[in-house]
Amino acid sequence: MSKTRKANVRKRLKAVDKVIEAVIDSGVKLHALGVAIKNTPKESTMKPRDKYTVFSRKHKKYRKSFHKTTTTIMLLPRRQLTLALLKPDLCANPNTISKIISRITATNHHNNFEIIRQREILWRQQDAEAFYAEHRGRFFFERLCGYMTSGPFTALVLARQNAIKEWRALIGPTHPWRARMNAPNTLRSHYGLTDTRNSFHGSDSDETANREIEFFFPELNVDAWRRQEEKEAAI
């Protein structure tokens, strides 16, 4: 097996370790799950032959490389992409952005996002109006566009399992006062100011995420990224 294939195998095994740690941290208690976790070795403790080969009576030394097996094994669910915006009030303070990025990528149940793309944006009025076109005519439209053109902001493409749901859970309710009452550990609870100046944005569906990612990152081919994900997830 080539060095690249071995590196990919180690990467997937470490990803499985992270999933198991997340399950443990979530507090889920099932007997079968406990047995599986107990009997699943960590990548760091596995012998090389157990990482890169499987048992086979038909091959020399009764082992054969994973990549020669005919069965495709999906170790993890396919990751999902979402668009995240860190709005102008946050970007006015670089230290705040640094803290938020650290929290986004932190390894725990709700976080552990991978940042696929990141870009600082400074909008013109027509840019804001184009992105929020579906809200044109609503009472908050002009106020929202004014807020989003008041200074630079950061656009991110985030990846992880259930990225859309998990990012929206991390940022919390649209209205910061509701976040403070009902979801005090969310980002909007800590940083949101008003209903308009709520500091964060997150896509609400795959379709919306695709459209919004293309708006900010037209060079990113989402379909090609997903194909590569599936290729890397398969042994």
CA–CA separation, 99 vs 154, rounded Å? 14
Residue 110 catalytic?
no
Q: Which positions ≥6 away from 162 have C-beta within 8 Å?
A: 80
Q: Is 208 annotated as a binding residue?
A: no
User: What span, in angstroms and rounded, lies between the C-alpha atoms of 167 and 158?
Assistant: 8
Check whether 168 is labelled as a binding-site residue: yes
Residue ranges with strand state E in the chain: 53-55, 63-65, 80-86, 114-121, 153-160, 200-202
Residue 178 marked in a binding site: no
Beta strands 80-86 and 200-202: pairing type? antiparallel
Taking the C-alpha atoms of residue 214 and residue 191, their distance in angstroms, rounded to an integer, is 27
On whether the CB atoms of residues 153 and 96 are closer than 8 A, the answer is: no
Active-site pick, 59, 109, 135, 201: 201
111 is known to lie in a ligand binding site: no
CA neighbor of 18 nearest in space, from 102, 83, 107, 90: 107
Are residues 65 and 1 in contact, defined by beta-carbon separation less than 8 angstroms? yes
Residues placed in the known binding site:
87, 140, 168, 174, 188, 198
Residues placed in the known binding site for ATP:
87, 140, 168, 174, 188, 198
Active site residues: 201
